């Protein structure tokens, strides 16, 4: 979650009406101090669980890679999750912002079952200040379906305009041909009358 208020909101969503709920918060070592300090300010002290990361990581990577090998659609979703997560790190406020370039991106990609690293050029562009946080936010929040629809409409309008211009050009060419033909006939008649 981006802040303590969002964490509280999401934990609250796990329990509805008379049902109880549980939440699991997973943090990277780089996040732990700042996130736990924010939660402590709100009198929230999560209970820490310890797991064997090597055993879990190897098993999950193997399962994820197998799933992606079976379904190309799932691979595309994994790539989208990869880039979406990294973009979300760039949008974290102030002290919470992590530099994705400092993370082990190959290990993260492997944890999603990806054999190769998806495009990460946006990270270096952001970190070298070629792209602003607002640009990243706009791109992350853009409605891609709507943008595709707009692009399709623009293409259709451009195709219709080109077709209309071509029809008008053909009409002008036909009109010029008729005028030349009429002028030729008139000249022929004038020559016939003069003789």
Task: Report how far Cα 136 is from the mean position of its chain's Cα atoms.
Answer: 10
pLDDT confidence of residue 133: 61
pLDDT confidence of residue 48: 86
The DSSP secondary-structure symbol of 47 reads P
**DSSP assignment of 9-74:** HHHHHTS-TT----------HHHHHHHHHHHHHTT--PPP----HHHHHHHHHHHHHHHHHH-HHH
Task: Read off the pTM.
Answer: 0.46
pLDDT digit string (tens) for the chain, length 195 residues: 677 888 888 888 888 878 888 888 878 787 888 888 888 999 988 888 877 777 777 777 777 777 777 888 888 888 888 988 888 877 776 655 567 777 888 888 888 888 888 888 877 777 666 666 666 667 666 667 777 888 889 999 999 999 999 999 999 999 999 998 888 887 777 777 766
pLDDT confidence of residue 164: 94
94: its two tokens: 């102030």
pLDDT confidence of residue 56: 73
Determine whether 86 is exposed, middle or buried from the number of CB atoms within 10 Å of its CB (0-12, 13-18, 19+). buried
């Amino acid at each position: 979650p981006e802040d303590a208020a969002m964490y509280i909101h999401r934990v609250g969503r796990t329990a509805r009406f008379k049902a109880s709920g549980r939440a699991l918060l997973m943090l990277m070592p780089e996040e732990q101090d700042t996130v736990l300090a924010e939660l402590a300010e709100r009198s929230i002290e999560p209970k820490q669980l310890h797991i064997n990361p090597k055993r879990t990581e190897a098993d999950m990577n193997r399962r994820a890679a197998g799933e992606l090998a079976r379904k190309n659609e799932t691979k595309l979703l994994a790539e989208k999750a990869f880039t979406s997560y990294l973009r979300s790190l760039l949008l974290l406020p102030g002290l919470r912002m992590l530099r994705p370039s400092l993370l082990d991106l190959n290990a993260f990609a492997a944890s999603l079952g990806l054999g190769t690293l998806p495009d990460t050029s946006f990270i270096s562009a952001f970190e070298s200040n070629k792209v602003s946080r607002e640009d990243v936010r706009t791109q992350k929040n853009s409605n891609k379906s709507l943008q595709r629809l707009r692009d399709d409409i623009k293409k259709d309008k451009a195709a219709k305009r080109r077709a209309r211009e071509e029809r008008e050009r053909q009409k002008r060419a036909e009109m010029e041909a008729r005028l030349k033909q009429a002028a030729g006939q008139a000249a022929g008649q004038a020559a016939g009358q003069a003789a």
